[in-house]
């Protein structure tokens, strides 16, 4: 009998779901819009403040993991249990739940046999001034920085193919540097209302 994902160790999961980098797929934008609409049609609107397409798949022309990352922001009035139940009904799997600060991470497109064609990560946070939004905007505004980021990711790929945490950590200085630059340039763009 095949192991369920919940029964696998982190090492087994990293082996089954290696880091893959691909040229930008113009369909990422459509995949995002489709999932966004499913969420908006199924989750009570008072539980959602804002949804954004984040990550490299949101930046046209940038090499990326073939995963559509989404940031769903909620406010303090959101019924988090109801939100989780609603997302599970839409076939989102809860990967991570932390309480301080509140952080939920869901995925879609992961099976005991590997990735499906369309893969998603949904990051749920309280409304905030998130680096991911600024970093995405900076890469869209400055193609030379996006190209530099693509080269960095390509240089790290094979060394961290089966170590997602190491891959993320190895990129963190670059991401933080340009997130901070974006916060200076795009000041207050994503401040909570």
Tokens for 76? 């303090």
Quick: pLDDT tens for 142-163: 999 999 999 999 999 999 999 9
The tokens for 178 are: 């340009």
CATH (residue range 5-185): 3.30.460.10
- For residue 50, pLDDT over 80 is answered with yes
Which residue would you say has higher pLDDT here, 122 or 18?
122
* Percentage of the residues of the chain whose pLDDT score is greater than 70: 99
| pTM of the entire predicted model | 0.92
Residue spans of the domains in the chain: they are 5-185
């Amino acid at each position: 009998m095949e192991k369920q994902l919940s029964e696998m160790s982190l090492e087994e999961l990293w082996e089954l779901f290696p880091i893959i980098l691909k040229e930008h797929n113009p369909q990422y934008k459509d995949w995002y819009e489709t999932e966004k609409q499913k969420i908006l049609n199924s989750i009570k609107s008072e539980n959602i403040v804002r949804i954004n397409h984040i990550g490299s798949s949101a930046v046209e022309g940038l090499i990326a993991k073939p995963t559509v990352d989404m940031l769903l922001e909620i406010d303090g009035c959101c019924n988090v249990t109801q939100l989780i139940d609603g997302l599970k009904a839409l076939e989102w799997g809860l990967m991570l739940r932390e309480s301080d600060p509140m952080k939920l991470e869901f995925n879609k497109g992961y099976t005991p046999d590997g990735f499906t064609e369309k893969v998603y990560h949904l990051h749920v946070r309280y409304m905030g001034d998130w680096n991911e939004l600024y970093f995405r905007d900076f890469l869209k505004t400055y193609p030379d920085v996006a190209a530099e980021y693509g080269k960095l990711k390509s240089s790290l790929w094979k060394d961290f193919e089966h170590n997602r945490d190491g891959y993320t950590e190895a990129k963190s200085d670059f991401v933080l540097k340009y997130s901070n630059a974006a916060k200076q340039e795009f000041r207050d763009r994503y401040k909570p209302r």
